[in-house]
Amino acid sequence: METATQEALAGRALDAAEELFYARGLQTVGMDAIRSASGISLKRLYQLFPSKEALVEAYLRRRDERWRAALRQYADARPPGRERILAVFDWLGDWFAEPGFRGCAFVNSYGELGATAPGVAAAARAHKDAFRAYLAALVAEAGAAAPLADHLVLLAEGAITAAALSGDAEAAVQAREAACVLLAAGTP
């Protein structure tokens, strides 16, 4: 199979997987559902992804890349410092308001399979570590004390969970307000 064709088919499979896994969960979606949604034969699907676990891990890697790139693009368009940090919470609010928002795909995946699928657990940890590292870089850029990054991570993660459970994007506004208080206390 030609590389370009293989990449296009893998992209279609991942598009279908992302939509179905995020909306319905990892365990409830079988490879037949991915086949139907992607229009790719089951045989070809297994050529691209030798197991459902391989597909789940590829879905999580791609989602991580896209999620972090979208956040970075949004926040980095703001002036460095306080405004860039607060933009993280503004972006979260926009994400929470999207139709079909179901919380953090990585927390959801970890909750479903983290205990039995080391690749899923590793992908979830890698995503959270990268998010923390991004916030730490923003905190350093703002000249704030390093521990502020961990506090901001907790605010963001709490807002994601609260928004998913309540269905209310207001959690981002509340987390942003708390971040303002922390920034006022921790920025020289």
Q: What is the mean pLDDT of each run of 10 residues along the chain (188 residues)?
A: 83 97 96 96 95 96 98 97 97 97 97 93 97 97 94 98 96 97 78
What pTM, to 2 d.p., does this model score? 0.93
Distances (CA, A) of 85 to 1, 64, 65, 125, 154: 45, 19, 20, 22, 14
pLDDT of residue 188: 45
Tell me which residue of 26, 21, 8, 141 sits closest to 76, measured CA to CA.
141
pLDDT at 108: 97
Measure the CA–CA gap between 89 and 28, rounded to whole angstroms. Answer: 31
| Residue 141, pLDDT score | 95
pLDDT at 187: 52
pLDDT at 3: 78
